[in-house]
Structure 1
Amino acid sequence: MASSNASTSEIRDGIPVVPAPSFTWNDKLALPQVTTRATIAGLTIGSIVLVSNFQFGLQTGWVSMMSLPSALLGFAIFKFLPYSQDFTDVENVFVQSVAVAVGTGPLAYGLIGIIPAIEKFLTEEESGLSRKLVFSMSDLMIWSLGLALFGVFFAVPLRRQVIVKEKLPFPSGSATATLISVLHGSELNSEVASTSGVAEPIQLEDEENSLHNGNYTNSIQSEAEFKSLTESKNYDKNISSLLYTFALSSAYTLISFFFPVLKNLPVFGTHLSQDYKWNFQPSPAYIGQGIIMGLPTVSYMLFGAIAGWGILAPIAKSKGWAPGPMDDWVHGGQGWILWISLSVMISDSLISFAVVAARSVYDGVKRMKRAQRIETEYIASMAAAADAAAEGERESLLNNGYSKRGSETSSFLVADEVPSQHLVDFKITVLGVILSSILCVISVRLVFGDLIPYYATVVAIILALFFSILGVRALGETDLNPVSGIGKLSQLIFAVVIPNNHPSKILINLVAGGIAEAGAQQAGDLMQDLKTGHLIGASPKAQFIAQLIGTLWSVVLSSVMYKVYNAVYEIPSQMFRIPTAIIWIDCSRLVTGEGLPPMAFEFSIIFGVVFGIISLLKNVVPKTSQYHKYLIYLPNGVAVGIGIYNTPNFTLARFLGGALSYWWINRQGAKGSDSKISMIIFSSGLVLGEGLLSGFTMLLTSLGVKHY
């Protein structure tokens, strides 16, 4: 039985402090985790994150996993409720797991990329029909459900290998576990925590992944950096910061609805504003996102904005290569530089994916061989020790090193595995993989009819399984889930798989890429959560249930929100440019042989080669090299591409946030954990405030409220 040292709660500086019960790591498995209150809290937090992700996803393609803020909000909700003194760290893990599963739905189901690409940009000829494809609510739910589950089931059998036996770091999952343990005053699994990499500073090398997943671990370095959260003075200060920034961001959202000029301030003059689209949008959420991304990433984005909108697009217009208005996606400068952006991102993503995948496979093989060798030695030593004990020589053998050898192997064996009743049954996993794959095939058939052949969907699912393994390993080793490279690689593969004369080749290319990307992303998200739970001592079965609950709710809410946005707003528009959708459709056209604007091919090849070389250098130069520190000055292709295809007003506010983050961390007297934690909370309030209030402004728009 678990022992508990819980006493009555005390009041410290006006804040109720709940002493944490004392449970061992294994004891916590049996604690209540799948509770009604945790489910409601997780769905509520996840819904807020989902609305925020829809808002910014349709605007910029930026989607955040928000695992750390979700864990913090889950704790804050229950901290002040009088009946929730028994709210445990493992229950907090459940809340966070549900919230992440809900919040990442817009990206997982392609509702900010693939679906709008098909609806808004796919021509009748490219679809193979005599009409445009428009999805009903039931179509969206069927499609989302088809993509929602197989990635989850793919991840389950990988847990034992990558988390229990190899103990891959999964830095974001480890950081979230550290935060939860500090908030609740509990201990991490010491054997696992010693190899988790929490104490190591994380330098992200794939900025697009930070855009998608909201990784904060480049700012979090150790458990000590979370300690100040439990000190009443700092807790008061941080919660006030969250509330104030949330209110500020909400107020801007509401005011800018009535005065849209605040979204495009012509700070560079009328000429640059009207003819070249150089404006500034002082969005608190964009500034908060820039804080999260950090100065290097937003600097690369600014480089892309200057190169694309300040140099290349004006040249294309003056030379007659792009004679239309600057923001015209087809005949204007934006449409012309889009191909360069696409080339840069494809080159960077594929090179990065190839290197990360190769390194992950190589390291995985080394880890498995080492684990097998040590396990064999351990079993042999234990057998020898047992034989010696029978002969009265146990003590002598142990003194000769068997005890030490057993200790050495403990981190590679399954000693940290939980009892079988807390694991997802293997039969359920196999059945789930089969049924979810069949469900995906049926869903695609129901939505697209015979436009998508059965073999294309089956091949896409097989690719998704393979890519899920690579994505999970890459995420565990480097904190990078290269979903962008996965999506583009699948598009290249299907350009070969599908005959070039197939009337629906571009539609098939989009659907197949979406399936492959969905599987890899969901598997990675679940594995991060499973790492968090493993460090805390949560039940893997409970987390699996959390993922299913959050996923099924997200299927419904994501579909509803997509239809609501399209009913209320004109999409695409100046506000919602859906750049990710444009990237998807143009990548499909590119790999299937569609023509390019004048001189776009030549410029795309040059930029693609240059940024491919840069990506190779960034990924292969070891951190021990004397030249590694200079790589930060080479622009990252994905971030540059994002800066090119977004209008400058989206980038400038983010750059301001990145500069603020740099100043915040390095200003005199503010270095250390307090500053980093405060920065995370500050930026989270800015992002969530505008994201949540966007639902209210959507209501005002639908009611026809006038604005100026």
Structure 2
Amino acid sequence: MTSPSPQGRSFTVRGVAAGLGVGTIICAANMYFGLQTGWVSIMSMPSSLMGFAVFKLLKPYLRFPFSPVENVLVQSVAGGMAIMPLGCGFVGVIPAMNYLLGPDEQGPLSLSMWQLIIWSLGLCYFGVVFAVPLRHQVIIRERLRFPSGFSTAVLIRVLHSRGQKSSPQELDAATKGGFASLAAKDDDPALVEDISPSAEEEEPEAPKDLDWAYNMRLLLLSFLVSGIFTICNYFLPILRDLPVFGTIAASTWLWTLNPSLAYVGQGIIMGTETTLHMTLGAIIGWGVLSPLAKMKGWAPGPVDDWEKGSKGWIVWVSLAIMLVDAVVSLAYIALRPVFTTHAVPALAVLQRRFRQSRIAALFGTPHQYSPIPSQEQQEDEEQEDDDQAFPAEEEDGGQDDAPTDQQVNNRIVFWGLLASILICVLSTQIVFGHLVPLYAIVIAVLMALVLSIMGVRALGETDLNPVSGISKLAQLFFALIIPQSNKSSVLINLVAGAIGALQAGDLMQDLKTGHLLGAAPKAQFWGQIIGATFGAVFSAFAYRIYTAVYEIPGKLFQVPTAYVWIFTARLVTGQGLPYMAKEWAIGAGVLFAMTTLARTLSVGRPWRSWIPGGIAVAVGMYNVPSFTLARAIGGIVSWYWLSVRKQSTTPLIIIASGFILGEGFLSIVNLWLQALKVPHY
């Protein structure tokens, strides 16, 4: 069954242009933060808000209204561009090849600008095209929630309805995943519709947290504050590493604080639970294991030495935690349908009634609804959405989707997927053909299809994309098929692990947003293709500029994920581990296999947040404490705002986004200052 299309044009040139502009800002920020700590975000909600603000300011010059579905296009183009620093490997694999491969590993490998562009263009389309058939399965049939996509859809709905709240019936329909269930009705006002003064006076004032102008002022103010602080950091480098625990702890054990507003903003978005688990990882790694390895002589070099110091030693423990977390989580997602298939008929009615009662309790009356669900609400909703893993039932209205003429043609999907695979294989062969055998590239592509399915499902159910763990699984698999005697085995492992459609998961969040708002999947598909193309080329240029101006790896850009990639490749290809690293890695792996299983089985339980999350702990271990402590501050701010003050999430997310974008974008100024050799103080 299909639903009628909402009003508005789903694909416009102006929407694509706005999306590319917004995407450029986010892509630049992702390259900056990715090289520092490996953190990359698609930032869908800020994209929607910035797109709305652009067209609101241009209101007198618009020929036709800027509608919610066009806002979805802006977000889709921006998202396709923003994810490319991660999808093309510029924050992990490429630095590992360029700087960390040893002479006996066919390195260091120097890639020209044209090789970087060819490589990135070869990878960028794979996930975009593969997201189309996955969309029908996970969004239409299984109706997975994709919490960030749902929240973004609600935000766009609020923006374009001038602060009018959605009714409980609309929210109920949206939670069930119906097509256009959050689309504006025919009688809703358009963005550029002329409204008489009397009508404006009669309209009740929207709450501050739903007022687009108020939110935009928050975004711009936080953007400017963070940007100014970023420029100050250039002239006063001491601000990047404050010795808050004393000079000895700072100089010897690397315990400093980077009071970056961007990392505080990241902590706000990550939430209290994740940031505190990361802090636990920092305490275990840098407060316990690092001094222990140093004093016992297991890592005799300086602490900040990746090769002989405890900084590199604790990465092996972190790596073991990431691997077992990925294996346990993905195994649960893959095997759960096998054990639940026979229970579907008996439980379907009870689950639906339970979900409906929980929805009513969650959303309450219209004036109680918060447009962006809090972390606690999302965890409750994940539990109630367990039944969405089953096929939709007839009384739910069938498997409704966009009108046939708005969907991506099956022929385009087939030939597009085939073409993207061939482009991926060809580009990899052009760049690495003299070092990587063709059969390894083909197997990597086919394996990427399988792993990306698990990644998309994990994101749809938990809102977490296990990119790191899945990549490590790919590296582990290729260690089994590539002879360890091959001199290029480490390089082959890196290339094979980098090939993937993992960005399909993040792009699926945008497709979920478009589905709820009634946007044409065809328009989103082409928008993401355009965004991915520009993002791939822009990321290659941005990477080349950063590596030309800054020392990488260096004090500012430590590229920790590049070390994780190279250490994994060396581990699975049979190279030895540092002394005692094997024993501690196995112990940590066993421990966190149990904690990951416990967290997986206790979704929705009040004690779940007290069980450490493997990925969060691992990230806290391989990043230096200065970044983790700043994120912990953001997590505490989030807890105070949401749990103590009981305030809406929306303004907090807006401020956090402004912090991130401000530092990410204004870091370009620092880039020029560094290139011009302007002195520091």
After TM superposition, the score normalised by the length of structure 1 is 0.81
Deviation of residue 159 (structure 1)? Answer: 2.4
Separation of aligned partners in 1, 2:178 and 2:6: 23
Match of 1:112 in 2: 91
1:626-637 paired onto structure 2 within 5 Å? 628-637=605-614
Alignment pair present for 1:27 and 2:9: no
1:314 maps to amino acid = P
| Paired residue type of 2:17 | I
Cα 1:78–1:505 change in 2 (3 A) is same
Is the 1:313–1:334 contact (alpha carbons within 8 Å) kept by the matching residues of 2? yes
Measure, in 1, the Cα distance between the counterparts of 2:345 and 2:152: 26
Q: Tell me what 1:569 maps to.
A: 550
Q: Is 2:510 the partner of 1:501?
A: no
Match of 1:641 among 599, 604, 618: 618
* Selected match of 2:110 from 125, 129, 134: 134
Deviation of 1:605 (Å)? 1.1
Task: Specify whether residues 367 and 526 from structure 1 end up closer, same or farther in structure 2 by C-alpha distance, changes over 3 A only.
Answer: farther
Q: Does 1:607 align with 2:588?
A: yes
Q: Could you tell me whether the CA contact under 8 Å between 2:3 and 2:403 is conserved in 1?
A: no
Match for residue 522 of structure 1 among 477, 490, 503: 503
Are 1:677 and 2:662 an aligned pair? no
Name the residue aligned to 2:300.
323
The residue number in structure 2 matching 1:395 is: none
Residues 357-381 of structure 1: per-residue CA shift (max 9 Å, x gap):
323676689889999xxxxxxxxxx
Query: CA 1:284–1:559 in 2, change beyond 3 Å: closer, same or farther?
Result: same
* Match among 51, 57, 61 for residue 80 of structure 1: 57
The structure-2 alpha-carbon separation of the partners of 1:349 and 1:469, relative to structure 1 and needing over 3 Å to count, comes to closer
User: Residue 295 of structure 1 contacts residue 658 of structure 1 at CA under 8 Å; is this kept in 2?
Assistant: yes
1:411 aligns with 2:396: yes
Contact 2:33 2:664 in 1 (8 A): yes
Quickly say closer, same or farther: Cα 1:424–1:363, change in 2 above 3 A: farther
2:425 pairs, out of 435, 441, 453, with: 441
CA contact (8 A) 1:68 1:179 kept: yes
Mapping for residues 24-423 of structure 1, pairs under 5 Å = 26-28=4-6, 31-81=8-58, 82-84=60-62, 86-127=65-106, 132-185=108-161, 192-196=173-177, 234-359=211-336, 409=394, 411=396, 413-414=398-399, 416-423=400-407
Q: 1:274 to 1:481 in 2, by over 3 A?
A: closer
Q: Secondary structure at the match of 1:615?
A: helix
| Kept after mapping to 2: 8 A contact 1:191/1:411 | no
Partner deviation per Cα, 1:402-455 (whole Å, 9 max, x = no partner): xxxxx96153634x2333221111111111111111111111111012311111
Distance in 1 of aligned mates of 2:217 and 2:155: 19
| Distance change >3 Å, CA 334–CA 276, structure 1 → 2 | same
Q: Cα 1:233–1:460, aligned 2, differ >3 Å: closer, same or farther?
A: closer
Q: Distance in 1 between matches of 2:590 and 2:488?
A: 30
Report the CA distance shift for 1:284/1:432 in structure 2 as closer, same or farther (over 3 A).
Answer: same
CA distance in 1: counterparts of 2:393 and 2:277, whole angstroms: 44
Aligned letter for 1:147? L
1:598 to 2:579 alignment: yes
Which residue in 2 is equivalent to 1:13?
none
Letter in 2 for 1:659: I
Q: Measure how far apart 1:645 and its partner are.
A: 1.2
Partner of 2:538: 557
- Counterparts of 2:123 and 2:79, CA distance in 1: 16
For the 8 Å contact 2:47–2:75, the answer to whether it is kept is yes
1:434–1:644 distance in 2 versus 1, CA, 3 Å: same
Q: Per-residue deviation at 1:239? A: 2.5
Distance 1:132-1:153 versus aligned 2 partners, 3 A rule: same
**Residue 463 (structure 1) shift:** 0.8
Q: Which runs of 4+ in 1 moved over 3 A?
A: 186-192, 227-237, 360-371
Shift of the 166–341 alpha-carbon distance from structure 1 to 2, 3 Å rule, reads closer
1:92 deviation in Å? 0.2
CA distance in 2: counterparts of 1:255 and 1:70, whole angstroms = 27
The alpha-carbon distance between structure 1 residues 479 and 273, as it changes in their structure 2 partners (threshold 3 A), is: closer
- Count of residue correspondences: 606
Q: CA deviation at 1:166?
A: 3.0
Structure 2: how far apart are the matches of 1:413 and 1:544?
24
**Unaligned regions of 5+ residues in structure 1, if any?**
1-23, 199-226, 372-406
SS at match of 2:577: coil
User: How far off its partner does 1:73 sit?
Assistant: 1.1
CA deviations over 1:81-140 (Å, ceiling 9, x no partner): 22246110100000000011111110001110111111111112223xxx5311111111
Of 691, 694, 707 in structure 1, the residue corresponding to residue 664 of structure 2 is 691
Q: 1:484 offset after TM fit, Å?
A: 2.2
Q: 2:259 & 2:286 partners in 1: Cα distance?
A: 19
- Which amino acid counterpart does residue 632 of structure 1 have in structure 2? S
Deviations 1:537-591 (A, max 9, x none): 1111100010101000001100000000001100000110100111111011111
8 Å Cα contact 1:342-1:641 kept in structure 2: yes
One-letter amino acid of the structure 1 residue matched with residue 396 of structure 2: S
Answer whether contact 1:258 1:707 (CA < 8 A) is retained.
yes
Per the alignment, residue 582 of structure 1 pairs with 563
Question: Contact conserved, 2:208 with 2:214, CA < 8 A, in 1?
Answer: no
Instruction: Measure the CA separation in 1 of the matches of 2:50 and 2:336.
Output: 36
Q: Distance in 1 between matches of 2:209 and 2:405?
A: 39
Amino acid at match of 1:655: A
Indicate the SS of the match to 2:6. helix
Amino acid at match of 2:398: L
Q: For the residues of structure 2 that align with 1:254 and 1:368, how far apart are their CA atoms?
A: 61
Checking the alignment, whether the CA contact within 8 Å between 1:61 and 1:112 is kept in structure 2 is yes
- Contact 2:641–2:647 under 8 Å retained in 1: no
> Aligned equivalents of 2:250 and 2:112: distance in 1?
38
Percent of residue pairs bearing the same amino acid type: 49
CA distance in 1, matches of 2:68, 2:434: 49
| Residues 503/246 of structure 1: CA separation in 2 closer, same or farther (3 Å cut) | same
Which whole-Å CA distance do the structure 1 matches of 2:460 and 2:79 have between them? 17
The code of the aligned residue for 2:589 comes to G
Q: Distance in 1 between matches of 2:440 and 2:341?
A: 30
Q: Which amino acid counterpart does residue 299 of structure 2 have in structure 1? A: A
Structure 2 stretches lacking a partner, 5+ long? 180-203, 349-391
Distance 1:304 1:190 in 2: 38
Shifted more, 347-356 versus 532-541: the winner is 347-356
Cα distance in structure 2, aligned partners of 1:67 and 1:269: 40
Q: Return the alpha-carbon distance in structure 2 between the equivalents of residues 365 and 569 of structure 1.
A: 58
- Per the normalisation by structure 2, the TM-score is 0.85
Q: Deviations over 1:477-517 (max 9, x none)?
A: 3333322221111111111111222221111111111113x
Q: Equivalent of 2:598, from 617, 624, 640?
A: 617
In 2, distance between residues paired with 1:174 and 1:168?
A: 10
CA gap of 1:237–1:336, structure 2 versus 1, over 3 A, is same
> 1:349: how far off?
2.1
Tell me the equivalent position of 1:701. Answer: 674
Q: Which residue of 2 aligns with 1:20?
A: none
Structure label with greater radius of gyration: 1
Cα shift at 1:40:
1.2
1:692 corresponds to which letter in structure 2?
A: F
Matches for 1:650-661 after TM superposition, within 5 Å: 650-661=627-638
Deviates more, 1:132-141 or 1:87-96: 132-141
